[in-house]
Amino acid sequence: MNVVLWVVASVLAAGFLLAGGMKLGRPKEKLAESGLEWTEDFSAGVVKAIGALEVLAAIGLILPALFGIAEVLVPLAALGLVLMMIGGGITHARRGEASSIAVNAVLLVLAAVVVWGRLGPYSFTS
């Protein structure tokens, strides 16, 4: 199960690193044009903050465990992603974007598995 948790955390980290980097590196208008219409509901600063949180969560999923320093940050980063996916789901529900809600739900479940595993039976301290 430890390997599964590493794989899930790595997949989440890669996805959120790319998604967050895109939000940080592109203007809000370009993001909306490329299919992220939800960005129209938020200021440019909020979109950048979401991107920064995604990048930080991606880093927090991997680096603490990789270096064996403050490993409790791994499940906390995953918990942060759970909360972000709840917020994303609410935003997409308000906009009537059902397919995006499904993506949020899958990412939420994957992040919740990491939280459960790393705070529970497969923690780094056990």
From first CA to last CA, the distance across the chain in angstroms is 14
Distance CA 100, CA 52 (A): 20
pLDDT digit string (tens) for 99-121? 999 999 999 999 999 999 999 98
1-5, 11-15, 112-116: which range is least confident on average? 1-5
- Rounded to whole angstroms, the Cα distance separating 22 from 47 reads 10
Whole-structure pTM value = 0.93
53-103: per-residue pLDDT in tens?
999 999 999 999 999 999 999 999 999 999 999 999 999 999 999 999 999
